[in-house]
């Protein structure tokens, strides 16, 4: 208790142990104090220690503030709380500053603060080795250089491989160089040396600069860089592009040879010819052998050979190239003898190929008519298509196909397919007679009458239009169309009919048909009225519907007799100008016999 009272009876000063400020910034050093009984200070002195001696900066009383003439004079200032500020901090400003407070009867106390200055280093710059490094080198080789500039105090540099920090060993060495620039700042340079392996072809290296600030360590990292590693090939690969299974005649093919060494080895290409290897290296470039417009003779065993210039080791790889093809497409016809109309024929298609084949048949118009290597055609006619195409395809090799066309010819005597008969004409008029026929070999066509003929047709068809004036003899006898070839003759009669006779007979026929229709309608009306009770039955069971009341007891005519009379009258009216029976009945209406 007495000790606490003694401490409380004196003035006490408080200051931070250290103040850090970046070069060029402003340093603020605070000084606070405690005087018992809320007493006032008598004075405050600010000093800095220079080579063990105190140099006063300020003497402060309640009445006045005295600033001493020192090297800091132009850069010093005091705050309202009597804190000391130093602007534009320089490299040589780091010193110890003392704040001394005098409080009369409460005595004197002082504390000190160490001013530290710093400059954050620039981000490190890394430069990788420009040339390659061989794994065959037994000594360590320079991997990269790292530089960090304008820092204070000097920072540390560390090296990292694939983000893992490297430590010095028999296979890893690091160099460091510290340079004090004219500005008073430091430049740090470091080099990384190491042995490389095949796996280092994918490794990434970087350096990091470490500096302390406010009691903590901070880090700036460089970019990642890789190095070129030279190593011999361990494996070689040779492949056909596109896949050998899909190569067909006419394709362009590449044989691609690849080795996993760096740099790439020297490639050579060969093809097996009988018991020797034929050099094809002149056709190759950068490990690629180009084969243009290949055919079945391009098939065979190919070899890629590599020479590693680093250790002079030779490696080789073989590949079989198969060029798919279709050849010898032919179509056999059975029977092979001449075909007649009504015959049947079998077409057989075959070809040579190292792969399975499909067969499709089409006619000369491109229409699909069958599948499989055989096509059966029955009941052949002249109209049967002359040409059929066998299309041979390899399903396993897209685009590989061949076609063969075969002619199916039907030979027979002519067959007349169209004539203008019967033909209604008038004597003396000019008419056209037409006759068309089909046959193979091509037939000739002749007329039995004279006239002006115009022929038309193609290899199988023939036709003729004959312009002729109708005479009495032509009307009576007609004309004949005669078509012939080496296999036979066919004739067709063209009948000519007199148009006037035909018209007269037509009028008679029409009159008879009309009369029959009138009788049928009249009979239907009478039957309908009888069913409705409009005609009561007399003694004979019939009654004239046209008789007046006074004549109802007499029968005018028998219906059956009337019908016969009417039919007879109609026929007489048509030929003998007699009136129909219906007219006679009409005359008796209103009279009693």
- Residue 223 φ then ψ, to 5°: -75, 165
Q: Does some domain include residue 494?
A: yes
Mean pLDDT in residue range 249-261: 93
Distance CA(225)–CA(178), nearest Å, equals 23
Q: Same domain for 144 and 226?
A: yes
| Comparison of pLDDT for 312 and 108, the residue scoring more | 108
Q: Which helix (H) or strand (E) holds 331?
A: strand 327-334
Q: Does some domain include residue 542?
A: no
Q: If you average pLDDT over every residue of the chain, what do you get?
A: 85
Strand 229-230, strand 133-134: pairing = parallel
CA angle 312, 314, 315 (to 5 degrees): 145
| pLDDT exceeds 70 at position 539 | no
What's the domain range around 89?
A: 12-118
Q: Does some domain include residue 213?
A: yes
Please report, for residues 272, 278, 301, 318, the alpha-carbon distance to residue 275 in angstroms, rounded to integers and kept in the order given: 7, 10, 12, 15
| pLDDT exceeds 60 at position 216 | yes
Q: Same domain for 204 and 276?
A: no
Looking at 478, 498, 518, the residue that finishes a domain is 498
Q: Looking at residue 535, what is its pLDDT?
A: 57
Q: What is the pLDDT of residues 163-177, one digit of tens each?
A: 999 999 999 999 999
Q: Same domain for 130 and 167?
A: yes
Q: Same domain for 126 and 226?
A: yes
**If pLDDT is split at 50, 70 and 90, which confidence band does 8 have?**
low
Count: domains in the chain: 5
Q: What is the pLDDT of residues 473-523, one digit of tens each?
A: 888 988 999 999 999 999 999 999 988 755 555 556 777 888 888 888 888
From 43, 41, 15, select the one nearest 28 (Cα to Cα).
Answer: 15
**If pLDDT is split at 50, 70 and 90, which confidence band does 540 have?**
very low
Secondary structure class of 564 (helix, strand, coil): helix
Looking at 273, 289, 317, the residue that finishes a domain is 317
Q: Same domain for 113 and 132?
A: no
Looking at 175, 205, 230, the residue that finishes a domain is 230
Q: Same domain for 65 and 136?
A: no
Distance CA(330)–CA(348), nearest Å, equals 8
Q: Does some domain include residue 283?
A: yes
Mean pLDDT in residue range 222-233: 94
Distance CA(521)–CA(530), nearest Å, equals 14
Q: Same domain for 432 and 493?
A: yes
Distance CA(555)–CA(538), nearest Å, equals 7
Q: Does some domain include residue 515?
A: no
Q: Same domain for 352 and 421?
A: no
Q: What is the pLDDT of residues 446-478, one digit of tens each?
A: 999 999 999 998 877 899 999 999 998 888 988
Mean pLDDT in residue range 257-264: 90
Q: Same domain for 384 and 310?
A: no
> Which CATH number does the domain housing residue 244 bear?
2.60.40.10
Joined together, the tokens standing for residue 79 give 């705050």
Cβ–Cβ < 8 Å for 232, 308: yes
Q: Same domain for 211 and 263?
A: no
Q: Does some domain include residue 588?
A: no
């Amino acid at each position: 208790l007495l000790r606490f009272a003694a401490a409380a009876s004196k003035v006490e000063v408080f200051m931070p142990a250290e103040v850090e400020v970046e070069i060029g910034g402003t340093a603020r050093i605070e000084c606070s104090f405690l005087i018992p009984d809320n007493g006032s200070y008598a004075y405050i002195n600010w000093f800095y220690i220079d080579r063990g001696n105190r140099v006063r900066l300020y003497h402060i009383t309640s009445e006045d503030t005295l600033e001493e003439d020192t090297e800091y004079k132009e850069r010093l200032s005091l705050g309202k709380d009597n804190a000391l500020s130093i602007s534009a901090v320089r490299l040589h400003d780091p010193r110890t500053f003392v704040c001394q407070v005098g409080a009369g009867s409460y005595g004197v106390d002082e504390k000190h603060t160490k001013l530290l200055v710093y400059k954050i280093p620039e981000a490190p710059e890394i430069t990788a080795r420009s040339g390659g490094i061989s794994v065959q080198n037994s000594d360590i080789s320079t991997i990269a250089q790292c530089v960090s500039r304008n820092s204070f105090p000097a920072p540390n540099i560390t090296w990292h491989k694939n983000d893992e920090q490297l430590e010095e060993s028999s296979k890893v060495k690091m160099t460091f160089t510290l340079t004090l620039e004219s500005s008073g700042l430091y430049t740090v340079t470091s080099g990384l040396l190491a042995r490389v392996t095949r796996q280092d072809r994918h490794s990434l290296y970087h350096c990091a600069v470490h500096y302390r600030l406010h009691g903590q360590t901070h880090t700036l990292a460089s970019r990642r860089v890789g190095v070129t590693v030279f190593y011999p090939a361990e494996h070689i690969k040779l492949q056909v592009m596109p896949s050998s299974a899909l190569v067909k005649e006419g394709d362009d093919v590449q044989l691609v040879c690849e080795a996993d060494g760096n740099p790439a080895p020297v490639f050579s290409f060969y093809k097996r010819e009988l018991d020797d290897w034929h050099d094809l290296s002149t056709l190759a470039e950068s490990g690629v052998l180009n084969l243009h417009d290949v055919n079945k003779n391009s098939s065979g065993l190919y070899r890629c050979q590599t020479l590693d210039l680093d250790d002079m080791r030779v490696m080789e790889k073989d590949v079989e190239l198969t060029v798919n093809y279709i050849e010898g497409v032919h179509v056999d016809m059975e029977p092979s003898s001449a075909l007649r109309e009504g015959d049947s024929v079998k077409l057989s298609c075959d070809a040579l190929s190292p792969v399975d084949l499909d067969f499709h048949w089409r006619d000369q118009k491109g229409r699909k008519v069958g599948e499989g290597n055989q096509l059966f055609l029955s009941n052949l006619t002249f109209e049967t298509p002359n040409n059929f195409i066998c299309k041979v395809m390899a399903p396993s090799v897209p685009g590989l196909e061949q076609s063969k066309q075969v002619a199916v010819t039907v030979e027979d005597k002519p067959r007349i397919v169209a004539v203008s008969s019967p033909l209604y004409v008038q004597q003396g008029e000019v008419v056209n007679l037409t006759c068309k026929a089909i046959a193979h070999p091509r037939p000739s066509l002749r007329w039995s009458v004279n006239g002006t003929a115009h022929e038309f047709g193609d290899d199988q068809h023939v036709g003729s239009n004959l312009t002729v004036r109708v005479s009495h003899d032509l009307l009576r006898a007609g004309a004949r169309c005669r078509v012939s070839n080496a296999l036979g003759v066919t004739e067709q009669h063209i009948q000519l009919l007199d148009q006037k006779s035909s018209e007269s007979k037509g009028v008679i026929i029409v009159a008879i048909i009309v009369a029959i229709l009138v009788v049928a309608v009249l009979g239907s009306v009478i039957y309908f009225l009888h069913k409705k009770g409009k005609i009561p039955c007399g003694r004979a069971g019939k009654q004239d519907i046209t008789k007046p009341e006074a004549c109802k007891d007499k029968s005018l005519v028998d219906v059956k007799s009337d019908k016969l009379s009417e039919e007879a009258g109609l026929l007489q009216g048509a030929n003998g100008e007699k009136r129909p029976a219906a007219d006679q009945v009409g005359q008796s209406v209103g009279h009693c016999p």
